[in-house]
Amino acid sequence: MNKIAVYSGSFDPVTNGHMDIITRASQMYDELIVAILINKSKKSLFTIEDRVELLKKSTKHLPNVKVDNFSGLLVDYCKANKIYTVVRGLRMLSDFETELQMANMNYFLSQDKVDTVFLATLPKYSYISSSTVKEIATFGGSVKDFVPKVVEDALYDKLRNNNL
């Protein structure tokens, strides 16, 4: 049986922490779909098209990783694509509460079909988040240690064009 999992998130933008989870999860499943949520109510720096492109470029060396986007409930995306495993990374204790709530809610909403598998984020990535990366870049700091090179370039382009 083909083992398939989805790694869902906002990825605004993808960080080295996300890349660590994607790389490790891609070794555990035959196919890993990185699914980006289209969330019109949340202000994002990168458009959905930008985020798809940045993820595709960052994962092009991983042949079993596909990039997709979705709107609505994650369990509906899972149902439509016959996926029963969601992968999420846990950075620190503060992630645990929301992640546990989301995992249990998704399990319930999917009538006990969609389970969540947590990977422990490596300590060297545990303090990286898309929001801190955006803040550092906005105030002129270097983000080269935190994101793939294509993302670093895209961030500075975006911030220059937005006059931030």
Give contact residues for ligand PNS (rule: CB under 6 A): 8-10, 37, 73-74, 102, 105-106
Q: Closest distance between ligand PNS and the C-beta of residue 30, in Å?
A: 22
Show the tokens assigned to 50: 């930008």
**Is 142 part of the annotated catalytic residue set?**
no
151 close to 37: Cβ distance less than 8 angstroms: no
Question: One of 40, 42, 61, 160 is an active-site residue; which one?
Answer: 42
Tokens 């922490």 -> residue: 17
Residue number, 105 or 159, with CB nearest to ligand PNS: 105
Question: Could you count the other beta carbons within 10 Å of the beta carbon of residue 72?
Answer: 10
**Is 61 marked active-site?**
no
Residue 42: active-site member: yes
Compute the least distance from the CB of residue 53 to ligand PNS, in Å.
18
Q: Which of 44, 51, 88, 91 is catalytic?
A: 91
Q: Which is nearer to ligand PNS, 9 or 148 (CB)?
A: 9
Question: With respect to ligand PNS, which residue has the nearer C-beta, 1 or 8?
Answer: 8
Reply yes or no on whether 130 is catalytic. yes
φ, ψ of residue 98 to 5 degrees: the values are: -65, -40
Q: What is the DSSP string of 52-85?
A: HHHHHHHTTT-TTEEEEEE-S-HHHHHHHTT--E
Q: Which of 26, 44, 58, 130 is catalytic?
A: 130
Give the shortest CB-163-to-ligand PNS separation in angstroms.
Answer: 26
Q: How far apart are CA 34 and CA 136, in angstroms?
A: 25
- Cα–Cα distance measured from residue 94 to residue 74, given in angstroms and rounded to the nearest whole number: 22
**Nearer to ligand PNS (CB atom), residue 102 or residue 136:** 102
CA distance linking residue 119 with residue 131, whole number of Å: 21
In the complex, minimum distance from the CB of residue 124 to ligand PNS, in angstroms, rounded to a whole number: 19
- What residues are labeled active site? 18, 42, 91, 130
